[in-house]
C-alpha cells in the first residue's frame, strides 16, 4: 500500500505545526488528494477567523459542513457548538437548555474548563466519521487543521486527561471515546508541517518527542514546506559568477544564504528524524487555490518517490 | 507621554510590548530592540518566551534561569551603554509557582496542589502562560529597576489571544460565578447538599452540571475553588493593575507581521483591536521582506532561471503587499519594513545591528 493510501485509510488526520508554516494550505491539499482517491473527506477548521474557504475557493462556511468539491466538505467549527449540542441532548427541555446556555456560569465553564474544547473538537470529528452528525452523511476521513504545535500536543492528550479527571457523565464518556480514537494509530494520523528553519524544526522535533512520551506513537508524515531551491552547481561557490546570466550578485547572495539555512536544518532533520519525510519547494504562487493545487501535485510526486525508495530497498 | 511614539534611544517609552502572530520573529526583534536601547544608555530588560536555542545562548538565558533576570554581556556596546538583562518564562510549572507564591500558608498550598482537578487539568488552563507573563511584568515594572522593559509575548496563533488570555483566566478563576454554582452542592464536609438558593435557573443549572459533568468532577472542582478562595482577591486586583499598566499612555505596542498580501487582514484586524481597546499602537513592523530585484534578464540555465524567477516574484509580491498595507493604514500609522536576513540574527553583534536599523527607520519616518 502506498504512503498516500495508508494516510487516506485513516479516519482522522491531524495537521499540525508551528504558526506560519503553511498548515492550512497543506490541509487543503491533502483534502483534495483524499477526495480524488474517492474518500469522502471533510476538512475541519477551528480558527474563529476563517481562512480555509479561501484556499478551497468557496465562500465562508458559516459553521455548517458545506460541499466544496465532489467528495470534499469544509466546516469551520466553533467548539461551543459541540458543547451546546451535548447540553441539548442531555437536558432535552428547550426552555431549560436556553436558560443554561444563557447563564454566565455556563459561559465561563465552557470558556475556561481545561481540555473541554479540545475534546469537543475531536469528539465532533468522531461523530462525523460515524455519521452521527445531523444533516451530514458519514464521511470517511476528517482532516483537522490543528492549532499551532504547542497546542497541537495538548489537543491530542487533553481528552485522556479529561477522562481521567472526570470519571462519569456524558462528557467523560465522550472523552474516553475520543482518547481511544486518537491513541489508535490506525484510526488517527498526525501530519506535521514545518519550514526548514531553526525554530519550526526545533518545535517539530519536540512535538515528535512529546508524541512518543505521552501517546507512545509517531507522526505519520513530516512535510518540510517552503524550501528554497538548490543553487545550480556553478552558483554555489562564493566566487564571482559568470555575469552573462544576468542575475544580480545580491540576489544570488541572498539565495545562497537562505538555501544554506535550509540545508543546515534539513541536515539536522536527517540526523534527528526517522520516518516518512517529504520536502516541498517555496513556490512563486500567491496563497490561494492555485497554490493548493500546486502543493497537492508536488505532495503526490514526493510521496510516490518515497514509496519507490522504500520499494527499492 | 509617548502616545505610540517609539524611540529606543530616548527614555520614552519605558514599556514596549511586542505582539504578533506566531512565527513572525517577535523574539528576535525584541532582543534587537533591547540591545539598541541598552547601547543608548538605558538600563533595559528583555522578557522572552520562546527564543531559539541559538538566541538563548546569545542572551545567556536557559530553563535553569527561569524567572530570573540574567545580565547579558554587553561589552561590545561601548562605554556609555546601559545594563541589559534578559529573562525567560516557560510554560510547564507556571501554575504551581503561582500557587506557591500566593497561597497564604503551606496547608492551603498543599490542598490546592494535591487536588485531583488541579493536578489533572488546572495546570493546562488556557491562558496561564499569558497570565504569568503579565503578572511577572507587573512585578518587575513595579520595582522600577529598569529604564525600559521590552516584553516579547508568548507564541499564539492569533496575536489578540495574548491580550484576552489574562482576562479569561481571571474570569474562570474568579470566586463569584463558579463558587456560587458549586457551593449549594457541597457542604464544608464535601458532601452533596440538597438545597439550593439559586431558584429555577439554579435548578436547571444544577441538573445540567450533574448530567453533563458528573458529580466527581463537581466535587473536585468545588474543593479546588474553596482551596483557591484566599488567592482570588489578589488575582482580580493584580489583573486590574496589569490592565492599567498595559493601557498607560507611555506603554507602546509594536505589532510584528510578515510580508505579503495574505497577512494584511490579520494585521489590520489586530491594529484596530488594539486601538479600540485603548492601547497605544506604535510602529507596525513588517518583517522578512524580500528585496525587490526589479526585472532580471532571462537566464539560460534552467534551475538558475527558476530560482531567479522565485526571488523576483517574492520581491515583487512583498513590495505589493507593503504598498497595499500602507494604503489601508491611517496616514499617521508608522510602518517599518525590515528586509529578510541572510540568516536569523542570533549573535549580539548582528542583533544590535538589527536594533540600530529599526531605530534608524523610526527616526527617518519622523
- Give pTM, 2 decimals: 0.87
| Strands B15-19 vs A277-281: parallel, antiparallel or unpaired | unpaired
> How far is the C-alpha of A116 from the C-alpha of B354, rounded, in Å?
43
Contact assessment for residue B33 and residue B355, using Cβ atoms and an 8 Å cutoff: yes
Closest residue to B168, CB basis, from A111, A198, A230: A111
Q: Could you say which residues from 50 to 109 on chain B have a Cβ atom under 8 Å away from some Cβ of chain A?
A: 50, 52-54, 91
User: Is the per-residue pLDDT at A119 higher than 50?
Assistant: yes
Contact B180 A286 (CB under 8 A): no
Which residues from chain B sit within 8 angstroms of residue A255, using beta carbons?
307, 311
Look at residue A137 and give its three-state secondary structure: coil
Q: Which residue of A has its CA nearest to B124?
A: A114
Interface check B22 vs A, CB under 8 A: yes
Give the C-alpha separation, A144 to A161, whole Å: 21
Of A196-210, A240-254, B155-169, the least confident: B155-169
Q: Can you give the pLDDT at residue B212?
A: 60
What is the tens place of the pLDDT at every residue in B77-90?
A: 888 899 999 998 76
pLDDT score at B198: 43
Q: How far is A309 from chain B (nearest CA, A)?
A: 24
Answer whether A287 sits within 8 Å of B313, measured CB to CB.
no
The C-alpha atoms of residue A42 and residue A39 are separated, in whole angstroms, by 9
pLDDT band at residue B130 using 50, 70 and 90 as cut-offs: confident
Query: Nearest to residue B333, comparing CAs of B4, B2, B1?
Result: B4
Q: Is B196 on the interface with A (CB under 8 A)?
A: no
Mean pLDDT of B165-171: 67
Give the pLDDT confidence score for residue A52 in this predicted structure. Answer: 93
What is the chain A residue with the closest CA to B260? Answer: A286
B155 in contact with A, Cβ within 8 Å: yes
Q: Name the more confident of B211 and A237.
A: B211
B160 touching chain A per CB within 8 A: no
Q: How confident is the model at residue A98 (pLDDT cuts 50, 70, 90)?
A: confident
Nearest to A90 among B174, B212, B311 (CB): B212
Mutating which of A169, A230, A250, A257 best tests the B interface, going by the most B Cβ atoms within 10 A? A169
pLDDT at B231: 66
pLDDT band of B36, cuts 50, 70, 90: very high
Lowest-confidence region among B131-135, B205-209, B341-345: B205-209
Pick A310 or B312 by higher pLDDT.
Answer: B312
Distance between CA atoms of A74 and A71, rounded to whole angstroms? 10
The C-alpha cell of A155 is what? 489537543
Give the pLDDT of residue B63. Answer: 67
Q: Which residue has the higher pLDDT, A189 or A110?
A: A189
pLDDT band at A149 (very low <50, low <70, confident <90, very high): low
Question: In percent, how much of chain B has pLDDT > 90?
Answer: 33
Cell reading at A85: 449540542
Q: What pLDDT does residue B187 have?
A: 55
pLDDT at A109: 66
Chain A CB contacts of B342 below 8 Å: 253-254, 257-258
Mutate to test the interface with B, among A85, A111, A165, A228 (most CBs of B within 10 A): A165
Q: Of A79-88, B82-91, B92-101, B276-285, where does mean pLDDT reach its minimum?
A: B92-101
Between B267 and B159, whose confidence is greater?
B267
Mean pLDDT of B207-233: 65
Report whether pLDDT(B196) > 50.
no
Q: Position of cell 542583533?
A: B351
Identify the pLDDT of residue B197.
43
To the nearest whole percent, how much of chain A has pLDDT over 70?
87
Which of B26, B212, B236, B344 to mutate to probe the A interface, most A CBs <10 Å?
B212
Contact (CB, 8 A) for A5 and A37: yes
Calculate mean pLDDT across residues B112-118.
73
Residues of A in contact with B126 (CB under 8 A): 112, 114, 117
What local confidence, expressed as pLDDT, does residue A241 receive? 47
Q: How far is CA B122 from its chain centroid?
A: 21
Q: Which of A145-154, A192-201, A234-243 has the lowest mean pLDDT?
A: A234-243
Give yes or no for B299 touching A (CB within 8 A).
yes
Q: Please check whether residue B191 touches A, CB under 8 A.
A: no
Number of other CB atoms surrounding residue B270 within 10 Å: 22
- Tell whether the model's pLDDT for residue B194 goes beyond 60: no
Query: CB–CB of A47 and B158 under 8 A?
Result: yes
Residue A240 confidence class, pLDDT cut points 50, 70, 90 = very low
pLDDT of residue B199: 47
For every residue of A228-239, DSSP letters joined together read PPPPPHHHHSSS
Give residue A20's pLDDT band: very low, low, confident or very high (50, 70, 90): confident
B313 contacts in chain A (CB < 8 Å): 284
CB-based contacts of B286, cutoff 8 Å, min separation 6: B257, B258, B259, B321, B322, B325, B335, B336, B337, B338
| Predicted local confidence at residue A244, as pLDDT | 39
Question: What is the nearest CA distance from B131 to chain A, expressed in angstroms?
Answer: 13
CA distance A131 to chain B (A): 23
The predicted structure's pLDDT at residue B69? 87
pLDDT digits (tens, 9 = 90+) for A162-172: 777 666 677 77
Q: What is the per-residue pLDDT for B195?
A: 40
Residue A6: CA atoms inside 13 Å, Cβ hemisphere, count? 16
Grid cell of B118 as nine digits: 488541579
Nearest-CA distance from B266 to chain A in Å? 9
As a whole number, mean pLDDT of residues B66-72 equals: 82
List of chain A residues whose C-beta atoms are within 8 Å of the C-beta of residue B261: 286
Q: In the predicted model, what is the mean pLDDT of chain A?
A: 86
Question: Which residue of B124, B172, B291 is in closest CB contact with A161?
Answer: B124
Which tops the pLDDT comparison, B153 or A106?
Answer: B153
Of A19, A114, A202, the CB nearest to B157: A19
- What is the per-residue pLDDT for B56? 84
Share of chain A above pLDDT 90, in %: 51
A18, A47, A284 member nearest B23 (Cβ): A18
> Any idea which of A133-142, B175-184, B351-360 has the lowest mean pLDDT?
B175-184
Q: Given an 8 Å threshold on Cβ–Cβ distance, is B208 in contact with A199? A: no
Q: Grade residue B305 by pLDDT with cuts at 50, 70 and 90.
A: confident
Does B321 reach chain A within 8 Å, measured CB to CB? no
Cβ contact A109–B169 (<8 Å): no
For the stretch A32-90, pLDDT in tens is 999 999 999 999 998 877 889 999 999 988 889 999 999 999 999 988 888 888 777 76
The pLDDT > 70 percentage for chain B reads: 67
Averaged pLDDT, A272-286:
93
Residue of B nearest to A160 (CA): B120
**B358: pLDDT confidence band, cut at 50, 70 and 90?**
very high
Predicted confidence band of residue A11 (pLDDT cuts 50, 70, 90): very high
CB-CB under 8 Å, B125 with A114: yes
Amino acid at each position: 500500500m502506498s504512503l498516500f493510501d495508508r494516510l487516506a485509510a485513516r479516519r482522522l488526520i491531524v495537521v499540525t505545526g508551528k504558526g506560519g508554516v503553511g498548515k492550512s494550505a497543506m490541509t487543503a491539499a491533502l483534502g483534495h488528494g483524499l477526495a480524488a482517491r474517492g474518500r469522502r473527506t471533510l476538512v475541519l477548521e477551528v480558527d474563529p477567523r476563517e481562512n480555509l474557504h479561501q484556499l478551497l475557493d468557496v465562500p465562508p462556511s458559516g459553521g455548517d459542513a458545506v460541499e466544496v468539491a465532489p467528495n470534499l466538505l469544509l466546516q469551520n467549527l466553533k467548539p461551543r457548538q459541540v458543547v451546546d449540542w451535548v447540553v441539548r441532548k442531555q437536558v432535552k427541555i428547550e426552555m431549560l437548555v436556553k436558560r443554561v446556555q444563557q447563564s454566565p456560569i455556563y459561559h465561563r465553564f465552557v470558556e475556561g474548563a481545561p481540555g473541554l474544547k479540545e475534546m469537543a473538537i475531536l469528539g465532533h470529528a468522531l461523530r462525523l466519521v460515524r455519521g452521527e452528525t445531523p444533516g451530514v452523511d458519514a464521511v470517511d476521513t476528517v482532516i483537522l487543521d490543528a492549532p499551532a504545535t504547542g497546542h497541537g500536543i495538548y489537543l491530542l492528550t487533553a481528552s485522556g486527561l479529561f477522562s481521567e479527571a472526570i470519571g462519569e457523565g456524558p462528557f467523560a464518556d465522550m472523552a474516553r471515546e475520543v482518547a481511544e480514537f486518537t491513541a489508535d494509530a490506525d484510526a488517527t494520523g498526525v501530519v506535521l508541517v514545518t519550514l526548514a528553519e531553526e525554530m519550526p524544526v526545533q518545535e517539530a522535533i519536540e512535538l515528535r518527542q512529546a508524541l512518543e512520551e505521552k501517546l507512545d506513537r509517531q507522526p505519520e508524515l513530516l512535510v518540510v514546506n517552503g524550501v528554497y531551491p538548490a543553487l545550480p552547481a556553478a552558483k554555489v561557490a562564493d566566487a564571482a559568477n559568470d555575469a552573462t546570466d544576468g542575475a544580480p550578485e545580491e540576489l544570488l547572495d541572498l539565495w545562497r544564504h537562505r538555501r544554506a539555512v535550509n540545508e543546515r536544518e534539513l541536515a539536522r532533520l536527517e540526523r534527528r528524524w526517522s520516518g516518512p519525510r517529504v520536502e516541498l519547494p517555496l513556490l512563486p504562487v500567491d496563497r490561494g487555490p492555485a497554490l493548493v493545487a500546486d502543493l497537492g501535485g508536488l505532495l503526490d510526486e514526493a510521496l510516490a518517490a518515497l514509496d519507490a525508495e522504500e520499494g527499492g530497498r | 507621554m509617548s502616545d505610540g511614539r517609539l524611540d529606543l534611544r530616548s527614555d520614552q517609552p519605558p514599556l514596549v510590548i511586542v505582539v504578533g502572530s506566531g512565527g513572525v520573529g517577535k523574539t528576535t526583534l525584541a532582543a534587537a530592540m533591547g540591545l539598541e536601547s541598552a547601547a543608548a544608555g538605558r538600563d533595559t530588560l528583555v522578557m522572552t518566551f520562546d527564543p531559539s536555542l541559538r538566541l538563548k545562548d546569545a542572551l545567556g538565558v536557559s530553563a535553569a534561569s527561569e524567572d530570573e533576570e540574567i545580565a547579558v554581556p554587553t561589552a561590545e556596546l561601548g562605554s556609555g551603554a546601559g545594563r541589559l538583562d534578559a529573562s525567560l518564562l516557560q510554560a510547564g510549572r507556571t501554575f504551581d509557582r503561582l500557587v506557591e507564591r500566593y497561597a497564604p500558608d503551606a496547608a492551603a498550598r498543599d490542598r490546592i496542589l494535591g487536588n485531583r482537578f488541579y493536578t489533572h487539568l488546572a495546570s493546562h488552563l488556557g491562558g496561564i502562560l499569558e497570565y504569568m507573563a503579565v503578572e511577572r511584568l507587573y512585578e518587575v515594572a513595579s520595582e522600577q529597576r529598569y529604564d525600559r522593559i521590552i516584553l516579547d509575548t508568548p507564541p499564539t496563533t492569533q496575536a489578540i489571544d495574548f491580550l484576552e488570555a489574562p482576562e479569561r483566566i481571571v474570569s474562570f478563576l474568579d470566586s463569584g460565578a463558579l463558587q456560587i454554582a458549586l457551593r449549594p452542592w457541597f457542604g464544608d464536609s464535601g458532601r452533596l447538599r440538597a438545597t439550593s438558593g439559586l431558584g429555577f435557573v439554579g435548578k436547571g443549572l444544577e441538573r445540567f452540571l450533574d448530567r453533563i459533568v458528573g458529580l466527581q468532577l463537581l466535587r473536585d472542582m468545588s474543593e479546588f475553588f474553596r482551596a483557591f478562595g484566599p488567592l482570588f482577591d489578589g488575582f482580580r486586583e493584580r489583573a486590574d493593575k496589569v490592565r492599567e499598566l498595559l493601557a498607560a499612555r507611555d506603554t507602546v505596542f509594536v505589532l510584528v507581521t510578515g510580508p505579503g498580501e495574505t497577512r494584511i487582514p490579520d494585521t489590520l484586524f489586530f491594529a484596530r483591536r488594539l486601538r479600540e481597546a485603548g492601547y497605544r499602537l506604535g510602529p507596525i513592523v513588517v518583517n522578512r521582506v524580500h528585496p525587490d530585484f526589479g526585472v532580471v534578464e532571462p537566464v539560460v540555465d534552467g534551475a538558475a532561471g527558476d530560482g531567479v524567477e522565485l526571488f523576483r516574484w517574492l520581491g515583487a509580491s512583498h513590495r505589493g503587499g507593503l504598498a497595499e498595507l500602507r494604503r489601508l493604514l491611517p496616514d499617521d500609522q508608522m510602518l517599518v519594513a525590515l528586509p529578510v536576513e541572510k540568516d536569523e540574527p542570533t549573535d549580539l553583534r548582528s542583533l544590535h545591528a538589527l536594533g540600530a536599523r529599526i531605530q534608524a527607520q523610526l527616526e527617518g519616518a519622523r
